[in-house]
Structure 1
Amino acid sequence: MALESKGTVLITGCSDGGAGSALAIEFQSRGYRVFATSRTLTTMSKLESLPNVKLLQLDITNSADIRAAADAVSKETGGTLTYLVNCAAQNHFMPLLDQDIEAGKALFETNVWGHLAVTQAFAPLLIKARGTVVFITSLSGYLNVPYQGVYAASKRSAEIIAETMRLELAPFHVKVLSVVTGAIKTKGQSHFDDWKLPEASLYLPIEATIRDRARGQEGAPRMEAADYAKRVVSEIVKGKTGKFWYGAVAGLAKFMVSYLPSWVVDSAVQIRTGLDELARRSK
């Protein structure tokens, strides 16, 4: 039986302190029935007491989890879903020469194939509701940021899937939106505390610099997750499709990649990366 609300939304990647959690809180505050998901229920403590929010375990690389989540939502909503927000992602920092290929493939399983698998599973519910699919992507897919090559490739790949799906789902009255996201303040960087380079890495002289960047301590501006969520949810519920750039320096980044020569963009993204120090050492 359908629930009395403005609509329903399922959001992946809702662990405390992240963008997914902030989006769930914002949708809930606007009167939507929210299905908040994460690989582990205990990571969503900030959402568990909110009314009209149901927590679901969902590892987006696990087909059984995906089927179970789709069945649970279908039963509670009468087989419809107004919004699907693909937010779950793994961040990653590693120079490409040091990249473990299997680890890179695993990253794509989450950041690309997981989103597609979830969207396929929920497509019947979205079609019935004439709903919207949202993909949270990243500025890094446009800026060639050092040490984020594999992560950036995964996020840009997800965006290409989203943009293609926008055309393929249009005949079924389902909208697709890509949110090209700038840096926001999250609490999900602690897993980089013990981050290390391989012992033979050419980048060992600047390992501390790369680790600080992985922890989000490079000094770049970041937007509060709640502020990000307010604007993004507003655009989603207004029915926006295509690409929407938002987050810290998103507007500037869009201008740079659209109108400035690549050497200018490259110079900007290399600031505080330590590459200049490596260049001096190699002379």
Structure 2
Amino acid sequence: MTDLKDLGIHTLELDVTSDESVGNALTYIKKESGGRLDFLFNNAGTSCTFPAMDLNVADAEACFAVNFFGVIRVTKLFLPLLIEAKGTVVQTGSVAAKLPFPFGSVYSASKAALHQYSDVLRIELAPFEVKVVTLIVGGVLTNIADDRPLPKDSLYIDIEADGVQARRTMAKDNNPMPPNVFAERVVRKLTTPALPPRTIWDGHGALLVWFLDLFVPRFLIALAFAKRFKLTRLAALVQAKKAKSD
């Protein structure tokens, strides 16, 4: 964060799961900005890219605590400053909310919840001239990937090395967009003289996902994902083990 400080940008520690932490940030920003905020960028996020049946409820709650409930907490507390400035709330969504990527059920669900929350919030805040923009983000080079090993009794242990691992590294293996390039593109779209769009699709592969979501039947996408992430091979292994035990 030193490079940001060198540019004159104020940096603060912020835990979006803590009322106290968000409240402290609000107090500081309110004082420094004169009670106005032009943009609130909800960008905190955590990955929970793991087979659905290997995640416990606490894991799922922790993921939603950051990716969804953290957004609600921050937006609610900063709303008076946004109303004063007729500002814009920017939400970091994901292409994972649009397609059924295997081993990402809870992460995808947290982002899908964020998308719908933002769509409704946009309507509710319109009378106060506060805008809401959802970023539907493709591949960006970050360190968000979940690299925990599977439990030894996981149903997916036979495909961990190729199928599950391919999902973990999917973004990094497919020419992700550098963060500075992504940030510059998004800021440019958000600061045009016209009203900002309701959604911004950006990041590597985002437009491909837009096309697939809109035009390709879901069963074809499911078949492609099952093959790509070795679930078809797992099905064959399961049947072979069953036949051997009969």
Aligned equivalent of 2:243: none
The answer to whether 1:276 aligns with 2:232 is: yes
- % same residue: 33
Kept in 2, the 8 Å contact 1:184–1:228? The answer is yes
Amino acid at match of 1:55: T
CA distance in 1, matches of 2:19, 2:173: 39
Task: Name the residue aligned to 2:7.
Answer: 51
- Cα distance in 2 for residues equivalent to 1:218 and 1:123: 35
TM-score by length of 1: 0.79
Q: Assess if the C-alpha contact under 8 Å between 1:112 and 1:154 holds in 2.
A: yes
Compare the two structures and name the one with the higher strand fraction: 1
1:247 is aligned to 203
Provide the residue aligned with 2:105 in structure 1: 149
Return the alpha-carbon distance in structure 1 between the equivalents of residues 172 and 204 of structure 2: 14
1:261 aligns with 2:217: yes
Residue correspondences, number: 236
Query: Is the Cα–Cα contact under 8 Å of residues 47 and 144 in structure 2 kept in the other structure?
Result: no
CA–CA distance in 1 between the matches of 2:93 and 2:34?
30
Alignment of 1:85-234 (within 5 A): 85-189=41-145, 192=147, 195-209=148-162, 210-216=164-170, 219-234=173-188
Cα distance change of structure 1 residues 218 and 64 upon mapping to structure 2, 3 Å threshold: closer
Q: 1:78 to 1:54 in 2, by over 3 A?
A: same
Q: Name the CA distance, whole Å, in 2 between partners of 1:220 and 1:84.
A: 30
Helix, strand or coil: the match of 1:180? strand
Unaligned runs of 5+ in 2: 240-246
Paired letter, 2:51? P
Deviation at residue 229 of structure 1 after TM alignment: 1.2
Contact 2:125 2:131 in 1 (8 A): yes
> What SS does the aligned partner of 1:135 have?
strand
Q: What's the offset of the Cα at 1:216?
A: 4.4
Q: CA deviation at 1:237?
A: 1.2
Q: Which has the larger radius of gyration?
A: 2
SS in 2 for 1:133: strand
Q: Which amino acid aligns with 1:202?
A: L
Offset of residue 249 of structure 1: 1.2
Tell me if structure 2 keeps the 8 A contact 1:80–1:126: yes
CA RMSD of aligned residues (A): 1.7
Match 1:63 to one of 19, 29, 36? 19
Distance 2:183 2:71 in 1: 19
Distance 1:241 1:81, change over 3 A: same
Deviation at 1:220, TM superposition (A): 2.8
Encode CA deviations 1:58-99: one digit per residue, 9 max, x unaligned: 000000010110110010010000000001000111111211
2:213 & 2:202 partners in 1: Cα distance? 15
TM-score, normalized by length of structure 2?
0.90
Whether contact under 8 Å (2:87, 2:130) holds in the other structure is: yes
The answer to whether the 8 Å contact 1:145/1:270 transfers is: no
What residue identity is the alignment partner of 1:60?
V
Higher fraction of helix: 2
Letter in 2 for 1:196: P
**Displacement of 1:187 after TM fit?**
3.5
Shift of 1:45: 4.0
Paired residue type of 1:200: D
Q: Distance in 1 between matches of 2:17 and 2:138?
A: 25
- Structure 1 portions without partners, runs of 5+: 1-43
Is the contact made by 2:136 and 2:201 (CA closer than 8 Å) also made in structure 1?
A: yes
State the shift of 1:51 in Å. 2.1
